[in-house]
Amino acid sequence: PHNFIELIDASIEILKGNRPDLLPDFPTGGLADCSAYNEGQRGGKIRVRAKIEERDKKTLAITEVPFSTTTGSLIDSVIAANDKGKIRIKKIEDNTAKDVEIVIHLAPGISPDVTIDALYAFTDCEVSISPNTCVIKENKPHFMSVNDILTESTVFTRELLKQELEIRLAELKERIFFSSLLKIFIQNGMYKNPDYESSGNFEAVVKVLNKLFAPFTPQFYRAILPEDFKKLIDKPMSSITRFDVKKADEQMKTLENEIKEVNKHLKQLTEYAIDWFIKLKEKFGKGRERKTELRVFDRVEAAQVALANVKIYMNRADGFVGTVLKKDEFIGDCSDLDEIIVFREDGKFLVTKVQEKVFVGKDIMHAAIFKKNDERTVYNYIYKDGETGTAFIKRFFVQGITRDKEYDMTKGTKGTKTLYFTHNPNGEAEVVNVQLKPHTKLKKLSFDLDFAEVAIKGRSSQGNVVTKYPVKKITLKTKGVSTLAGRKIWYDEVLKRLNIDHRGTFLGEFDGEDKILKVLSNGVCEITSFDLTNHFEDKMIRIEKYNPDQVYTIVHYEGKLKNYFVKRFTFESLVLDKPVSLISDEHGSKMILISGASQPVVKVELSKGKNHLPETTELNLADLIDVKGIKAQGNRLSPHEIKNIELIAEHDDEEDVPDPVAEISLKEVLSEEHQSEAAEKELPQKEEKPVSSAKKIELEITNPDDVEIKGKGQLPLF
């Protein structure tokens, strides 16, 4: 289905010579990603999602369901996913009446953001529709795009309008023709002509009238037929005697003007058709606005949002991993869609799917849940080459692998042995102590080795030489700290999600306990983690890296006092994932603007005195009030009536900006004291320019000779 108003608008564009771009609109509402719609042709796809709201950290609400589903079938799919362990909910309620409302209560400790993604991945909260548009044309089925169908339909509609105009023109001409005939018949007294009165039959009447009308024939647009005379002689004498010539002339004048109008429409048929479509929309378009919100969805990886509903174990010596080895060593909780990465003492590793029991090779030294495209996990590794006996050190990521394929971390020679291995989720680099076996040429049998001095390379790199002498043992001396830079995060306004793919507005580098600040148009603020699974609201007006020391300024309207107030504060008191309102809870209270600048300047349009004299003034908000608490009401902005407020400048005294931020302008909300609403203007805000989108290319060093760290690719030890 498509939207009525959009079909009308698209038809108008077709008449203007433009190609339309129709996208479906479903009566059930919801969200739709039509990026692969393919104009409704075979091979296209529409992803339709339910609209899910986060009421609080324990409750989700579905307010619109995807097309082709019902509340009953959707609830059944949610219950089935819960029974299979894909999601974990406490209960689900169907409060649907006039509007859809399905309330989902989450189990304790379950993330609402992850659950939303899981609902899209494992239930009917997201469905895929494959269109295949077909019409019957010339008694045969034709597969066409919806845009081509509408184009043909619009052209056909214009042709129908032309035919209607031509029919109307013919009707008008006939009315003028007969009116002229009647006028001449009466004005010239033909009905009193002796020959006419003495005619004995209809043929004689026609003959007489043809003779009488002969002088007037040139003024008619067609020949006079006997049927026309029949209509004349059927006129009752009473109507002939009461015939009003002046009135008849006026009627004919009106008909002639209407003929001119019809001829004009025929000459300007396209413009006439456009006006016809516009009137059609005005008459029937009310209440037919788009119900389905168009979005671009990110791809939800089922393995990333699946609930950890199984436990995985390993038998190091025998080389088995699986979910049924409950007497062996516990690896961790995972979902049945996850993959396991296994490292062995012989320097090989592989990635395999979670199974009940699978052989991965004897002498397992490490096994863990594998995360695809993980750029933070670094493996620190020291091994002895079986051919030369030389010890090598390396640090590497694991990316771009094939499931169940063995990979070698060493040179692959026989007799190769692992000397040291650690798994570091955030790129930590420890210091180890290397002890060598006694040798006549060695004076120093022990030395420290810092992994931070080793560059991170590809998994196939042979590494840097540690020593060519036999190693007795390697022990941990100092635990490491991360050697990786903070994680660069962007916010995608289209997807309403965070990402690391350079899409949208750059928020900054995040690490450790860093957080994100978000402010909504209703005055509610909250700090969240920088987890990429987080969902963000449509009404968000500001998102940036959280700085507890930064001073913010807001202007808000207090509904009860009916006045504008300004206050300055910090977000230092905010608690993670706990929303706080910056404005009053009174009805009618609104947030007008927010700024993170140290010297925000606003232009205020005032109405002074009893005569309401207009005046415009500029105010530096930092001069009006000191920094107070986040719950403070603030100071009154002006004692006079305020008509409009506009942020015109944001000056920062500080040279160094702590972090790049993204600010989304908030539309002004004007005073409602006199029940009037003025046009909204967007407040200019400082906004970090988005980094241009670029496709990420993973590079991996597989030839150790291509990259050198120091000297000849070796790490100097002495």
Least confident of 206-210, 285-289, 621-625: 206-210
Query: Is residue 713 pLDDT above 60, yes or no?
Result: no
Q: What is the pLDDT of residues 368-427, one digit of tens each?
A: 999 887 888 999 999 999 889 999 999 999 988 899 999 999 988 888 999 999 999 888
User: Is residue 505 a contact partner of residue 661, using CB atoms and an 8 Å limit?
Assistant: no
Least confident of 290-294, 361-365, 373-377: 373-377
Query: Is residue 685 pLDDT above 70, yes or no?
Result: no
Query: Is residue 176 pLDDT above 90, yes or no?
Result: no
**Ranges of H-type helices in 42-197:** 71-83, 112-122, 146-187, 194-197
* pLDDT the model gives residue 512: 77
Query: Is residue 332 pLDDT above 60, yes or no?
Result: yes
CATH of 4-148, one of 3.40.50.300, 3.30.1330.60, 1.10.3210.10, 3.30.1360.40: 3.30.1360.40
The DSSP code for 298 is P
Give the whole-number percent of the chain exceeding pLDDT 90. 43
Query: Is residue 667 pLDDT above 70, yes or no?
Result: no
CA distance 348 to 361: 9
Contacts of 324 (CB under 8 A, 6+ apart): 313, 356, 357
Q: Please return the burial class of 375, using the count of CB atoms within 10 Å of its CB with bins 0-12, 13-18 and 19+.
A: middle
Query: Is residue 715 pLDDT above 50, yes or no?
Result: no
* pLDDT the model gives residue 300: 66
* pLDDT the model gives residue 706: 37
The DSSP code for 708 is -
Contacts of 76 (CB under 8 A, 6+ apart): none
Q: What is the pLDDT of residues 472-526, one digit of tens each?
A: 999 999 888 888 878 889 998 877 888 888 888 999 988 878 899 999 999 999 9
* pLDDT the model gives residue 104: 94
Confidence band of 711 (pLDDT split at 50, 70, 90):
very low
Confidence band of 279 (pLDDT split at 50, 70, 90):
very high
Confidence band of 594 (pLDDT split at 50, 70, 90):
very high
CATH topology assigned to domain 514-663: Neuraminidase (2.120.10)
Give the whole-number percent of the chain exceeding pLDDT 70. 89
Angle at 335 between CA 110 and CA 107, to 5 degrees: 20
Number of Cβ within a 10 Å radius of residue 177: 16
Q: What is the pLDDT of residues 437-467, one digit of tens each?
A: 888 788 888 999 999 999 999 888 889 999 9
Q: What is the pLDDT of residues 56-69, one digit of tens each?
A: 889 999 999 999 99
Cα-to-chain-centroid distance, residue 655: 36
88 vs 51, 72, 216, 618, CA distance in Å? 19, 19, 94, 55
- Mean pLDDT, range 5-26, rounded to an integer: 92
Q: What is the pLDDT of residues 545-555, one digit of tens each?
A: 999 999 999 99
Confidence band of 241 (pLDDT split at 50, 70, 90):
low
CA distance 634 to 569: 10
Query: Is residue 613 pLDDT above 60, yes or no?
Result: yes
Buried b (16+ CB within 10 A) or exposed e, 580-616: eebbbeeeebbbbbbbbbeebbbebbbeeeeeeeeee
Q: Are strands 563-570 and 613-620 parallel, antiparallel or unpaired?
A: unpaired
* pLDDT the model gives residue 662: 40
pTM beyond 0.95: no
Query: Is residue 621 pLDDT above 50, yes or no?
Result: yes
Nearest Cα residue to 480 out of 543, 400, 395: 395
Contacts of 702 (CB under 8 A, 6+ apart): 458, 460, 461
Confidence band of 250 (pLDDT split at 50, 70, 90):
confident
Q: What is the pLDDT of residues 90-102, one digit of tens each?
A: 999 999 998 999 9
* pLDDT the model gives residue 567: 92
Summary mean pLDDT of the chain = 84
Query: Is residue 699 pLDDT above 70, yes or no?
Result: no
CA distance 558 to 535: 30
What amino acid is encoded at 162 in this protein? K
More confident residue, 404 or 715: 404
Question: DSSP string spanning 265-277?
Answer: HHHTHHHHHHHHH
- Mean pLDDT, range 289-302, rounded to an integer: 82
Question: DSSP string spanning 356-375?
Answer: SSEE--SSEEEEEEE-TT-S
Query: Is residue 665 pLDDT above 60, yes or no?
Result: no
- Mean pLDDT, range 37-43, rounded to an integer: 88
